[in-house]
Amino acid sequence: MYHILAADGIANEGIELLRKTFDVEVRDKISHEELLELIPKFDALIVRSASKVTADVLERAANLKIIGRAGVGVDNIDVQAATERGIIVINSPDGNTIAATEHTFAMMLAVSRNIPQANQIMHAGGWDRKKFIGVELRNKTLAIIGLGKIGAGVAKRAQSFDMHVIAYDPFVGAERAKNLGVRLVELDELFKTADFITVHMPLTNSTRDMIALPQMKTMKPTVRLINCARGGIINERDLATALQDKLITGAAIDVYENEPLAEDSPLRTLPNIILTPHLGASTVEAQIGVSVDVAKGIIDALNNKPVATAVNLPHIPAHVLEQLAPYLDLGERLGRTITGMSREPISSVQVKVNGKIADMNSSLISTAVLKGMLSAALDTGVNLVNANILAAERGIHLSEIKSSVARDFANLVTVSANGNIVTGTLFGNEGRIVEINNFRVDVDPHARILICPHINRPGVIGLVGTLLARHAVNISGMNVGKTAIEGTSLMVLTIDNPLPPHVLAEMKALEPIFDVTPIAYAD
């Protein structure tokens, strides 16, 4: 049974879902030292933002197969180190979308009407209406940096407040922006014209300190900044300076470069900033949503199913991934076949995809082929996460060809290496090998097969059948036919039993047999 560690206070709904199948240990609060000590025995880890899954943690994670982040950002996980170790990292990109969107708007309203400050005065026994005169959102320009799901949700709500919405996102086209009712602008124009600026970008090298003192000096003195995305996008010390020197009017911040926010942070002393302790995803509904999303992803991963929310795999929509899944299994088995057929180390492999699947993001099929090739040779765990890295480390060059045209079948996957070619397709959802070195076959790649080129003459089939029967090896399927080489045929046998080495040697010693290649697909 797999063992799962749930840290950082994961909602019970996801925990109970996992407990139906796995052993789950819950540690709502766990120190880094405790995590280092505990991690070797676990197959899966779930965290929120508190636990830091660093390289030293991963180095001790001997059994870890997947890390689930119950939320969107994975800043607290060393994704590169996880990828190198073949550990899948998943998140929950949709579970807290509404919560984060609504919190952004709550912060915008709060900073525009001075609600927290007024509330504090009231609780202290005061009454000062003139001190807390605010501004309306109507007819103001809201600038959104990042038009993902949350940014788009904020844009939609802003329009219901009669705001003018502009946005910057280098990955969003004009058509998408038009559908959202948003005008795309460059950052310089955005900073100069906005009355409110809200950021909804991930923290990367290019977005870190995206808004610092030089940018703040170009803004209207009446501007208000909101950050419910990631700490570090707005430079905190520069923000404190801009607020103190009245370069900008106000700010509302929910996320920080280092959390929890230091007690001596200059932001804590300023009256014109609203601070919340990373509450963007802190709703009952969001916590349940991200918990269940991550639990489902872990269940799929531990059952060897692809996970649509993996952040260290190519992003493929769930409905497309569902269609690709049986081709991933087929690709892996074609990879095992081509490795078994090769007498020399493989330095170059070509994967050709024909048919409708060529129009999908089929790069993962090529990764599955590499996984199959390497799994037969490496003791270390090979999966869809690290297969490309392991192949590159071993000097294996991968080339991919796509074509929407497929002969004879709706879809085909063909793998070529070291002069050998193997082609497969699906019959329903079951993978089949339909061609080996230009010889038409019908082979189940979930069994054990023997590939036997031989002299084309009477009696060869009987000779092989008699030998295998003598050693109690049952033949469950056979394909025999002429090859392109005159006087030779190819026999492909499906057998039900493991082939002992001495029997393999006897087969190879038969005078009409050129060679025998055993391929074992059974896991």
Nearest one of 347, 367, 300 to 83, comparing CA atoms: 367
Alpha carbon 329 to chain centroid distance?
A: 18
Contacts (Cβ under 8 Å, ≥6 apart) of 447 = 476, 477, 494, 495, 496, 521, 522
Active-site residue, selected from the candidate residues 69, 200, 278, 448: 278
Cα separation, 250 vs 128, whole angstroms: 19
User: Is there a catalytic annotation at residue 123?
Assistant: no
DSSP letter at 385 equals T
Tokens 């003598």 belong to: 470
Nearest one of 415, 420, 493 to 454, comparing CA atoms: 493
- Within 10 angstroms of residue 472's Cβ, the number of other Cβ atoms is 9
Active-site residue, selected from the candidate residues 189, 259, 400, 506: 259
Please provide the distance, in angstroms rounded to a whole number, between the alpha carbons at the two ends of the chain. 17
Cα separation, 386 vs 389, whole angstroms: 5
User: Is there a catalytic annotation at residue 138?
Assistant: no
User: Is there a catalytic annotation at residue 33?
Assistant: no
Cα separation, 176 vs 183, whole angstroms: 10
Active-site residue, selected from the candidate residues 224, 230, 333, 336: 230
Cis peptide before 260 (omega within 30 of 0): yes
Cα separation, 349 vs 354, whole angstroms: 16
Nearest one of 442, 492, 429 to 464, comparing CA atoms: 492
List strands edge to edge, sheet with 44-47: 23-27, 3-7, 44-47, 66-69, 88-90
Catalytic residues: 230, 259, 278
